[in-house]
Amino acid sequence: MSYWLVSLPLLETKERTWNTLQQKTTYDNNWSINFKFDIPELRVGTLDSLMTLSDDLVKTNISLESVVGKIRRTIVDVCGSPASACAIDGVPVESYLTSFQWDEAKYPSRRSLQETVTKIQEDMVKLDDDLKVRVSEYNTVKTALQNVQRKTQGNLLVRDLNTIVKPEDIVDSENLETLMVVVPKYGHAEWLKCYESLTNFIVPRSSKVLMQDHDYMLCTVTMFRRIVDDFKQECRGKGFTVRDFSFSEEAMESQQAEFTELKSTAAAKIESLNDWCQSAFSEAFSSWIHICAVRLFTESILRYGLPPKFLAAVLKPGKAENKLRSALGTIFSSGGAKYWKSEGKEDVTIGYDGEYQPYVSFSISLD
């Protein structure tokens, strides 16, 4: 969902400006739903510092929006939480924006704008770095767990046979050895016809099917040890795969213990990541909207001059965006930018958002 943050030149007073905005855009035409956007009178500084800050704020806004998006995607796509989990201290993002209140305790209005922006930038860099570390840690455990699962849940060409083969399935003596052969399903009939004659010294009727998956069957065959290599060579020529296997109860128990530990660790990591991301999202989103407020205030001072005389508002446009733009342009054209002109024309770089308007405006998306 897209919103417009606008700063409108006053039509005498804030109250009259607000009433006019409501009447023309909501009551008469239903083109938008409007909300007041609370920005205190911030510490301005010099014109040069404002011009420098204006350029910096565009980049900062993009950077913060990116961090917010990364955390949101991690919550939804990695942690599997619903989008509604992306909130600010329990307040949905839309409600937070439309009822925004400046956090005076965290960002004192007496502090210079550059100090406020720098603090937010530093906090966001730390959040972004922490997110990368936490996601990396989770992915490491997840990959290790997937590798173990692949051994126990992959197809019979790669699956760990210790989870399938039982001691009674094998013969392991001084002269005899049981091999595990992976046979394509379509070739099982051929296997039954030929396995006893692939070489000499095969124990007759020693093959049995231990397991099958979608594509393969795991078959046993017992033979004299001295012809194992010859048998493997003959199997390769027939398209049968002899798995290298040595039964070990210790290996099976060790693998099961590793799987259980990794599964528990992964569950703890994802829970920790989800909790951290929800807290981080709250901080990041709040910081982003504060940057939007600073940006709107800065552009308004550059556009309208001092002392601050403007109405900040959040507009949720309907389908008739062009009509809404036209109406705002008409209503506020006479009270628009009257500072920073060049050769009789307003400087269109101030408060610019795709198309020049006689008021400050830029869009933000909460999707």
Query: 326-349 burial by CB neighbour count: b if 16+ within 10 A, else e?
Result: ebbeebbeebbbeeeeeeeebeee
Q: Are 168 and 201 in contact (CB under 8 A)?
A: no
In the chain, residues under CATH classification 3.30.70.100 are 166-245
CA distance 238 to 190: 9
Amino acid type, 165: V
250: left (phi over 0), alpha (psi -120 to 50) or beta: alpha
Give the CATH number of domain 166-245; options: 3.40.50.150, 1.10.8.60, 3.30.70.100, 3.40.1080.10. Answer: 3.30.70.100
Q: What is the pTM of this model?
A: 0.78
pLDDT along the chain (367 residues), means of 10: 92 93 94 95 87 92 95 95 93 96 94 94 96 96 87 82 88 94 96 95 95 94 96 95 85 81 94 96 97 95 89 94 92 62 40 65 90
Which residues, including other chains, have CB under 8 Å from residue 217's CB and lie 6 or more apart? 156, 182, 183, 184, 185, 188, 209, 211
CATH topology of domain 2-129+282-365: subunit c (vma5p) of the yeast v-atpase, domain 2 (1.20.1460)
Residues 6+ apart with CB under 8 A from 181: 191, 195, 207, 218, 219, 220, 221, 235, 240, 241, 242, 243
59: left (phi over 0), alpha (psi -120 to 50) or beta: alpha
- Tell me what pLDDT residue 337 has: 52
Q: What pLDDT, in 10s, does the model give residues 156-174? A: 998 888 888 988 999 999 9
Region(s) of the chain under CATH 1.20.1460.10: 2-129+282-365
Instruction: Please state whether beta strands 91-92 and 345-346 pair in parallel, antiparallel, or not at all (unpaired).
Output: unpaired
